[in-house]
Amino acid sequence: MNKPSREALDAYYAEAGSWAHDREDALRSSRRTAWWVAGAASVIALCEALALLFLTPLKTVEPYTLLVDRQTGFVQPLKPLEPQAISRERALTQSFLVQYVIAREGFDINSVQSDYQKIALWSEGAARGSYLSEVQVSNPNSPLVRLPRSSLIEVQVKSVTPMSDDSSMIRFDTQRRDAGGQAAPSQPWVAIVRYGYSGEPMSAADRMINPLGFKVTSYRKSAEALAAPEPATAVVEPGPASQGSIPVRSAGQPVVARP
């Protein structure tokens, strides 16, 4: 073999060795990069697993119970698993509102006098004027005129929802029961009530009925569903005066009696 051919062969081998060395370096670098990427991915996955492990106890599923009124479709959320936090002032106001609606919308001949006195003391302005005109015997729609003495109007308050600091929406049902246990279908209502507390002076007797001066200034009631027809009742002739009358009285007013 001549000398040029030997030199060319050596150059070829040298170039081939350099190529193999470069390929080996590239493969080693690629493998190193792959390990870095795999390691980084493993670290990220481990961090995510630890984060989920520590955050899982903080994740809770809170169940909600919804009460749907069959007649009106009104949906009311209930929270039986969580004690409802309510201030004493708000709880007292809600109690006054419930008592007010029951006394104003209910009817029982045995308690009509006390209910009348309570509503007269707990109302002022338009709310008081509308109530007094509703219950007077001169009004043909007064319960004292259209209901027999043996009838009852029962009131069941379903919810009291505050709308502002001085107004609330009250949902309630009324049901009429006549003598013999005959009951009419219940009628759902909603009332928007405005109220406040008055510091006006009262007598000791009136203060026993309204100790904090709770006053309803506006009372607006509307039906949530169409009213069911009232059962037909026989006309009751007025009895003799010896049987007594139905006295209704408000604070500072003379007694009004039904003949």
User: Where are the chain's structural domains?
Assistant: 7-55, 88-228+245-257
Neighbours of 186 (CB within 10 A): 16
The span from the CA of 174 to the CA of 118, in Å, is 19
**d(Cα 195, Cα 222) in Å, to the nearest integer?**
18
- Per-residue pLDDT tens digits for 199-210: 888 899 999 999
Top CATH class of 88-228+245-257 equals: alpha beta
* Sign of torsion over alpha carbons 134, 179, 112, 209: negative
The average pLDDT across 130-154 equals: 92
pLDDT digits (tens, 9 = 90+) for 63-105: 667 767 666 667 767 665 455 556 788 889 999 999 999 999 9
Kindly state the average pLDDT of the residues 140-149.
92
**Per-residue confidence (pLDDT) for residue 259, from 0 to 100:** 40
Contact 230, 137 (CB under 8 A): no
Tokens representing residue 66 in the block: 């919804």
The strand pair at 256-257 and 187-197 is best described as: unpaired
Tell me what pLDDT residue 80 has.
Answer: 57
Length of the chain, please?
A: 259
What pLDDT, on the 0 to 100 scale, is given for residue 130?
95
Between these two residues, 55 and 153, which has the higher pLDDT value? 153
Contact 154, 175 (CB under 8 A): yes
E-only strand ranges, the chain = 65-68, 75-78, 152-164, 167-177, 187-197, 214-223, 247-248, 256-257
Q: What pLDDT does 230 receive? A: 55
Question: Is the model's pLDDT at 111 over the cut of 90?
Answer: yes
Quick count: other Cβ atoms within 10 Å of Cβ 131?
20
Torsion over CA: 25, 31, 37, 42 (sign): negative
Does the structure show a pLDDT above 50 at 238? Answer: no
Using the predicted structure, report yes or no on whether residue 176 has a pLDDT greater than 70.
yes
**Residues whose CB falls within 8 Å of the CB of residue 222, separated by 6 or more in sequence, listed in order:** 189, 190, 191
**Between these two residues, 13 and 92, which has the higher pLDDT value?**
92
Q: What is the mean pLDDT of the chain?
A: 80
